[in-house]
């Protein structure tokens, strides 16, 4: 397979340089509700994704639907989408189709999730606060396309846009990682505990990003609850 690169496609008319830094013990704070703010992420890989693992940590008191992570291509706006339609429920989209995972309704504390998918079997894994949920099937044989726009805090209904502010995220996001492989159970638990992790396509400790709208980087006020 010929070598492909996956780069963030910067939206037409946007300006500014992308920052790259170690965000350990820092967070993105999305301050307005509803919001037009988002964070654009930059990544590269050698080929379309036949496997991936996505992990992140969020802290919010929202009860309406919101998007956490949106990866869109020209062919499919929901190539990868982590979406929370209501408290106690997460949806993972791959190639426009989704599976639902139900979780305990929040204690208004940090929630850490990891979701992995493999094309060969179509199996998805979902880990909530360091614990695995029953696996489900999704999009067996599919390949997630390259040349993507990757955003935090908004759902893309079109390539790089089409935002609905009432699906926007308000609160704090941290510890965002994307791998082009499925992580082992030990590494899933390590991600929850903020321990050393393997090299990633997107890594919180070397993240290339650009903030748009009312979002800032601040020190984390309190640590996530690690059981």
Residue 224: the pLDDT is 59
Has residue 11 got a pLDDT over 70?
no
Alpha-carbon distance of 124 to 94, in angstroms, equals: 10
124-137 tens-digit pLDDT: 999 999 999 999 99
Residue 226 has what pLDDT? 52
Q: Which two tokens stand for residue 197?
A: 């992790």
Confidence of residue 18 (pLDDT cuts 50, 70, 90): confident
Average predicted confidence (pLDDT) for the chain: 90
124, 182 contact by CB (below 8 A): no
Q: What is the pLDDT of residue 10?
A: 33
Where residue 41 sits, what CATH number does that domain have? 2.60.120.200
Q: Which of 150, 132, 141 is nearest to 79 (CA)?
A: 150
**Domain for residue 107, yes or no?**
yes
**Max mean pLDDT range (13-22, 81-90, 214-223):** 81-90
Predicted structure pTM score: 0.90
Parent domain of 103: 32-214
Whole-Å CA distances, 179 to 43, 49, 136 = 11, 9, 19
pLDDT at 183 over 70: yes
Q: Is the predicted pLDDT of residue 225 greater than 70, yes or no?
A: no
Domain count of the chain? 1
Alpha carbons 227 and 225: distance in angstroms, whole number: 6
Beta carbons within 10 angstroms of residue 129's beta carbon: 18
Identify the pLDDT of residue 164.
Answer: 97
Three-class SS state of 60: coil
Q: Quick one: pLDDT at residue 56?
A: 98
Specify if 120 maps to a domain.
yes
In a domain, 47, yes or no: yes
Which pLDDT belongs to residue 135?
98
pLDDT at 65 over 50: yes
Helix (H, G, I), strand (E, B) or coil at 130: coil
Q: Residue 223 pLDDT > 60, yes or no?
A: yes
User: 131: closest CA among 192, 56, 183?
Assistant: 192
Please state the φ and ψ torsions of residue 166, each to the nearest 5 degrees: -85, 5
DSSP-assigned letter for residue 159: T
- For 25-51, the pLDDT digits (tens) are 999 999 999 999 999 999 876 689 999
**What pLDDT band is residue 108 in, cutting at 50, 70 and 90?**
confident
Asked whether the CA dihedral 101, 107, 108, 112 is positive or negative, the reply is negative
> Does a structural domain hold residue 89?
yes
**N-to-C CA span, the chain:** 43
Does 122 score more than 70 pLDDT? Answer: yes
């Amino acid at each position: 397979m010929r070598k492909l690169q996956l780069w963030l496609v910067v939206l037409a008319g946007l300006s500014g340089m992308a920052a790259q830094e170690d965000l350990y013990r820092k967070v993105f704070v999305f301050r307005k509700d509803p919001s037009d703010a988002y964070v654009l992420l930059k990544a590269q890989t050698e080929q379309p994704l036949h496997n991936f693992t996505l992990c992140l940590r969020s802290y919010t008191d929202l009860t309406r639907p919101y998007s956490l992570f949106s990866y869109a291509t020209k062919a499919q706006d929901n190539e990868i989408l982590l979406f929370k339609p209501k408290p106690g429920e997460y949806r993972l989209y791959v190639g426009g189709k989704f599976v639902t995972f139900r979780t305990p309704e929040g204690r208004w504390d940090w929630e850490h999730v990891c979701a992995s998918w493999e094309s060969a079997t179509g199996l998805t894994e979902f880990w909530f606060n360091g614990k695995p949920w029953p696996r489900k099937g999704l999009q067996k044989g599919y390949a997630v396309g390259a040349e993507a726009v990757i955003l935090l805090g908004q759902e893309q209904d079109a390539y790089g846009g089409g935002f609905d502010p009432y699906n926007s995220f308000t609160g704090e996001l941290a510890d965002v990682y994307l791998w082009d492989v499925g992580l082992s159970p030990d590494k899933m638990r390590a991600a929850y505990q903020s321990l050393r992790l393997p090299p990633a396509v997107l890594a919180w400790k070397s993240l290339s990003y650009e903030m748009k709208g009312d979002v800032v980087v601040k020190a984390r006020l309190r640590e996530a609850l690690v059981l």
